[in-house]
Structure 1
Amino acid sequence: MRLAGKTALVTGATSNIGRAIAVALAGQGAHVVVAGRNKERGDEVLAEIRAAGGRADFVAVDLDGTKETANELAGAATRLLGGRIDVLVNNAGAIDGTPTAETDEETFDRVYAVNVKSPYFLTAAIAPAMAAAGGGTIINLGSWVARLGIPIGAVYAASKGALETLTRAWSAEFGPSGVRVNAISPGVVHTDQDHPATAMMAGTPYGRIGAPSAIADAAVFLASDEAAFIHGTVLDVDGGRIGVAVIAS
């Protein structure tokens, strides 16, 4: 139980990576608040966690980028978790693959609202309380497309690049007060191992789509005391997508 006695808030926790992270943190002893838009799916996550003997609660929220919504979520989660949040996972994300010339202003604003503004204001609400309580951990979810250019989804890539930059800025801002801030940059990950997107992992050492559990394992590590010396780092959990090119012989 690497997280026994800890509390955690995971956004976008009702599917795929977020769900896997919430289940994994609870499996290591954390009391987890599962935050997401869909109560039915949230209840499914709670059932999975509780069936394994873990503790979890659900908060329905549509992270719209406003400070008001972020503050409401922070307050609700803090109350459910007994007055403190030890681990914040900024996972909720809006994905858009539209080419630049076809991206309308509404889409641009929505992607940035979910992927940048919401984590920003959640961190603003929670990090100072973590510091006042003696410390905590913040984990942001970046993306491989933030650093390896592809010809679609520029606004999504830019938003994830912004979040990875914020990871370093927040580490400098909050680290001296005991709040560790890091990010995970996943490769192509999906619960369906036959998903067509697996083609985007061609030419990597892993060679196929990744499982959400791989990202969850990394989150458990970064949330634990084993990662005490890791600050301001973007951990690539991507099957070698960013760093390695496999050349066919």
Structure 2
Amino acid sequence: MSRPDYRRTASTNLKAATSGKPLQGKLAIVTGGSRGIGAAICRNLAEKGASLVIGYTSDSSSDITAKLASSLESSHGINTLSVQADMGNPNGPAHLITTAKNHFSHPRSGKFQIDIIINNAGVAKDMPLGEITPEEFTRQYAVNVLGPILLMQAALPYLPTNRSGRIVNLSSVSSSLGFVGQTIYGGTKAALEAMTRTWARELAERATVNSVNPGPVATEMYGGTSEAFQKHLKPFIQSAPLQKVRAGIDEERFVEDADNAGGRPAYDYEIAGVVAMLCSEDSAWCTGSVVCANGGFRMST
């Protein structure tokens, strides 16, 4: 049985393969792409040839996003577009898609296609049950749950119609491990995983839809967690196969802190590698899954 051509012509596929850039000619949207895991995902996809729409939220991220975009363009010869859009604002997702369409549409035919969407933007704040407020509930669910829904709605007209699209949602081990203080955050990530399975069915003829579930990652968000929360994580880290530190290989700060933390967090590029794998042609038979991106921190998913 011959292998179907899901997106590109045979000559284009051959060109991408021989160039070592399997995502050449693809357009990827990455929300929360200015820093941390999002920026690492942008770097990985750019290395593989994808052009990028890098979404960011705050004015304080404008400069670092511009520098990231410029660096990726010069290093990998891709096209980038940085778009400031608040995923927690009902108008933000549609603004991002409209801006991307205006920039990347073919100048003569008007054709515009979104090949890859990474729903990475997210917010978190740990709160004990007795201190949860409607305002904080609304804030986290607006960004972490409603934001991806509205982005997907705005993107629907521009997704491929031949299963070549790739949607990856950034979940968390918090969706299933019941960490103290994460009634809201853990709930948002569980909702995102449920949405992943629903979208995998609804979009079956257009794209695969998967989630990844990082554990602790060496980002600003993890660095801002409390000492009590990190102490709570220690037994999980100690039992994770890949979170054991390796002197002379891992960053010295993690080696020095290993006794206190129980091991090391992930590096952002390790998460990005799993996400990029799910964006490849080779992942075409994987959909509706929550894929481990946590070094064995959560092994039963």
Aligned residue in 2 for 1:42? 65
Query: Which residue does the alignment assign to 1:126?
Result: 155
Matched residues, percent identical?
A: 31
The equivalent residue for 2:43 is 23
1:3 and 2:23 matched? yes
CA separation in 1, counterparts of 2:71 and 2:200?
Answer: 33
| Aligned residue identity for 2:273 | D
- Match of residue 247 from structure 1: none
TM-score by length of 2: 0.75
The question of whether the paired residues in 2 share the 8 Å contact of 1:6 and 1:31 is answered with yes
Given that 1:23 and 1:48 are in contact with CA atoms closer than 8 Å, whether structure 2 keeps it comes out as no
Displacement of 1:64 in angstroms is 1.7
**Structure 1: distance between partners of 2:96 and 2:202:** 22
Report the equivalent of 2:246: none
Conserved 8 A contact 2:36-2:268: yes
> How many angstroms does 1:139 deviate by?
0.7
The one-letter amino acid of 1:28's match is K
Which 5+ residue runs of structure 2 have no aligned equivalent? 1-20, 106-111, 244-263
CA contact (8 A) 1:185 1:237 kept: yes
C-alpha displacement at 1:191, in angstroms?
4.2
- Distance in 1 separating the partners of 2:183 and 2:52: 33
Distance 1:204 1:226 in 2: 27
1:1-249 matches, within 5 Å, as 1-37=21-57, 38-55=61-78, 56-66=80-90, 68-82=91-105, 83-132=112-161, 135-175=164-204, 177-191=205-219, 195=223, 200=233, 201-207=237-243, 208-243=264-299
Q: Which moved more, 1:140-149 or 1:55-64?
A: 55-64
Take 2:200 and 2:165, find their aligned partners in 1: how far apart are those partners? 12
C-alpha distance in structure 2 between counterparts of 1:236 and 1:135, whole Å: 22
Aligned-residue RMSD, C-alpha: 1.9
One-letter code of the match for 1:148? L
CA–CA distance in structure 2, aligned partners of residues 166 and 81 of structure 1: 28
Q: What's the CA shift string for 1:147-176, capped at 9, x where partnerless?
A: 11111121000000000000000001011x
Determine which structure has more spread, i.e. the larger CA radius of gyration: 2
- Give unpaired runs (5+ residues) of structure 1: 245-249
Deviations 1:18-42 (A, max 9, x none): 0100111111000001110221121
Go from structure 1 to structure 2 and tell me whether the alpha carbon gap of 1:17 and 1:145 turns closer, same or farther (over 3 Å shift): same
User: For 1:75 and 1:16, how far apart are their aligned partners in 2?
Assistant: 25
Distance 1:141 1:75 in 2: 23
Residue 167 and residue 65 in structure 1: after superposition, are their counterparts in 2 closer, same or farther (change >3 A)?
Answer: farther
Q: Is the 8 A contact 2:196 2:288 kept in 1?
A: yes
Q: Which deviates further from its counterpart, 75-84 or 26-35? A: 75-84
CA distance in 1: counterparts of 2:203 and 2:174, whole angstroms:
26
Secondary structure class of the residue paired with 1:84? coil
| Paired residue total | 241
Per-residue CA shift, 1:116-155, capped at 9, x if unaligned? 0000111112134214476411110000010111111210
Relative to structure 2, which stretch is displaced further, 72-81 or 214-223? 72-81
Q: Distance in 1 between matches of 2:136 and 2:53?
A: 28
Query: Normalising to structure 1: TM-score of the pair?
Result: 0.90
Q: Is the 8 A contact 2:163 2:208 kept in 1?
A: no
Aligned partners of 1:33 and 1:81 also within 8 Å: no
